């Protein structure tokens, strides 16, 4: 079953990319008490993800925060080292990367895709959500191959 607006975020282990190295976190705990703009991409360093998705959240970080977003979080089915390197290469200190290396978060949300045709295996779909104190306030899931509703620009119109 796919997660919906009003549902509580699944409580799974994710790995936060930090300057000190990977840190395991529980998503249920991490998303508690904050209003978070979350975006998920099929993979770090992939074309649309690097050219549009991450840069959009970097560019709109101040505007999102001015509208009540406490933190911006990016996730993908990659390890924390890749997520950290991607944020260093194309992101900013305004973005927190939570690696979903085992696809536990995407699976628990019911938002996986099969990237086998591209040699990527099981991945998280492209989506975004606003999570308020652990509850999904807004959910934007892209159709395969699209990049519209999961963008930072679209989210700005929702918050």
Residue 3 located in a structural domain: no
Q: What CATH number is associated with residue 53?
A: 3.40.30.10
Q: Is residue 48 part of a domain?
A: yes
Res 71: pLDDT: 98
Identify whether 5 is part of a domain.
no
Contact between 106 and 39 under an 8 Å Cβ cutoff? The reply is: no
Per the annotation, the verdict on 109 as an active-site residue is no
Question: Which residue shows structure tokens 């620009």?
Answer: 153
pLDDT tens for 62-73 read 999 999 999 999
This prediction's pTM = 0.93
What is the torsion angle, in degrees rounded to the nearest 10, for the CA atoms of residue 10, residue 33, residue 149 and residue 111?
-10
Residue 76 domain boundaries: 13-156
Tell me, yes or no, whether 2 lies in a domain. no
pLDDT value, residue 145 = 82
Q: How many domains does the chain have?
A: 1
Residue 110 — left, alpha, or beta (φ > 0 → left; ψ -120 to 50 → alpha)? Answer: left
Does some domain include residue 6?
A: no
Could you say which residues of the chain have pLDDT below 50?
Answer: none
* Residue 47 maps to a domain: yes
Question: Which residue is catalytic, options 17, 49, 72, 111?
Answer: 49
Backbone region of residue 7 per phi and psi (left: phi > 0; alpha: psi in -120 to 50; beta: other values): beta
DSSP 16-72: E--TT--EEEEHHHHTTTSEEEEEE-S-TT-HHIIIIIHHHHHHTHHHHHHTT--EE
Residue 57 lies in a domain: yes
**8 assigned to some structural domain:** no
pLDDT attached to residue 49: 65
């Amino acid at each position: 079953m796919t997660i919906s607006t009003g549902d509580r975020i699944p409580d799974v282990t994710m790995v936060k990319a930090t300057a000190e190295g990977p840190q395991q976190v529980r998503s249920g705990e991490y998303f508690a008490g904050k209003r978070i703009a979350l975006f998920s991409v099929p993979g770090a360093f992939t074309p649309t993800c690097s050219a549009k998705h991450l840069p959009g959240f970097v560019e709109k970080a101040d505007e999102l925060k001015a509208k009540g977003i406490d933190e911006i979080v990016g996730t993908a089915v990659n390890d924390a080292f890749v997520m950290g390197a991607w944020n260093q290469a194309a992101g900013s200190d305004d973005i927190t990367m939570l690696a979903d290396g085992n696809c536990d978060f995407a699976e628990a949300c019911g938002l996986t895709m099969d990237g086998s045709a591209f040699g990527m295996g099981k991945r998280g779909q492209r989506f975004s959500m606003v999570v308020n104190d652990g509850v999904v306030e807004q959910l934007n899931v892209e159709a395969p191959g699209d990049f519209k509703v999961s963008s930072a620009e679209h989210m700005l119109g929702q918050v």
